[in-house]
């Protein structure tokens, strides 16, 4: 599978201008025969809490319409982050990751399970309630967003079905070492390919270094793009399941033990 990572320097809270940048990246990905191009969390607005301005109707999204058109026009699947309005006027928004096939049809949509409370995201965005995996080109993909990366449990659950994890993010440069380390850690512990795409530039006063990268199932970095806007192309082979069969760390997990002691520790606290 050939994956393009669209490390975009989006225009803050301005979708239309960001779409223009994204289209050039999609063209490049299509020219290089990528199967899919991924864009960061809230890819065309930035990680904004201004939901009145950036959030879109879940069933009638301008971003969805635009990405559908690009997918059909350039014959490439597209994954992107965006903000969806709550179903009710007083309901929090959703931080979403949508994956479209090359015909622009929905393959999957994931809502971020772990809003970033340190950045007050939880005050504006609701928690997702479902781990999402989806078949794609003979593989199975798990979808995650940014802060999810710090919670290995959800990756281990996804790895029961998935052999590739897509992580879209807006991860600040001040914690870039964490980003790189955690991407490799999630790959090693789940024996999965992990693909992380981040933005670059300065947005709402924060610096972003990019560091979009793909990691194989034993933790080798297959490619990384640092500190500039651009498209990184990475090829993923299909050896994760072979590795899992040979080196069966998942089989040695003691999930009943973990659950029992986690519940005990929670009660004690």
Q: For residue 251, what are the contacts with CB-CB under 8 A and spacing of at least 6?
A: none
**What's the chain's Rg over C-alpha atoms?**
18
How far the first Cα of the chain sits from its last, in Å, is: 46
Exactly one of 21, 41, 68, 94 is catalytic; which is it? Answer: 41
Q: The tokens of 194 are what?
A: 């992990």
| Sign of the CA dihedral with 50 first, then 109, 237, and 44 last | negative
- Assess whether 41 carries a catalytic annotation: yes
Q: The tokens of 9 are what?
A: 């320097």
Is residue 195 within 8 Å of residue 165, measured between CB atoms? yes
Reduced 3-state DSSP string for 86-121: CCCCCCCEEEEEEEECCCCCEEEEEECCCCCHHHCH
Exactly one of 15, 92, 94, 112 is catalytic; which is it? Answer: 112
- Assess whether 146 carries a catalytic annotation: yes
Is residue 56 within 8 Å of residue 67, measured between CB atoms? no
Exactly one of 146, 170, 180, 234 is catalytic; which is it? Answer: 146
Active site residues: 41, 112, 146
């Amino acid at each position: 599978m050939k994956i393009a990572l669209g490390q975009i320097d989006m225009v803050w809270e301005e979708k239309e201008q960001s779409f223009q940048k994204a289209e050039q990246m999609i063209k490049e990905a299509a020219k290089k025969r990528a199967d899919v191009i991924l864009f960061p969390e809230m890819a065309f607005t930035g990680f904004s809490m201004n939901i009145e301005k950036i959030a879109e109707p879940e069933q009638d999204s301008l971003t969805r319409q635009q990405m559908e058109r690009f997918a059909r026009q350039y014959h490439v699947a597209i994954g992107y982050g965006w903000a969806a309005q709550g179903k009710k006027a007083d309901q929090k928004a959703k931080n979403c990751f949508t994956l479209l096939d090359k015909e622009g049809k929905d393959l999957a949509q994931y809502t971020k399970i772990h809003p970033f409370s340190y950045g007050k995201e939880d005050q504006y965005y609701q928690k997702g309630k479902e781990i999402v995996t989806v078949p794609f080109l003979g593989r199975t993909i798990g979808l995650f967003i940014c802060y999810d990366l710090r919670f290995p449990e959800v990756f281990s659950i996804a790895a029961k079905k998935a052999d590739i994890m897509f992580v879209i993010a807006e991860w600040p440069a001040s914690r870039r070492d964490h980003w790189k380390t955690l991407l490799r850690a999630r790959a090693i512990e789940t024996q999965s390919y992990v693909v992380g795409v981040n933005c670059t530039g300065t947005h709402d006063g924060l610096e972003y270094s990019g560091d979009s990268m793909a990691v194989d199932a034993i933790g080798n970095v297959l490619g990384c793009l640092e500190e500039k806007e651009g498209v990184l192309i990475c090829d993923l082979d299909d050896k994760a399941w072979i590795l899992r069969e040979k080196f069966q760390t998942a089989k040695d997990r003691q999930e009943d033990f973990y659950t029992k002691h986690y519940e005990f520790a929670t009660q004690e606290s």
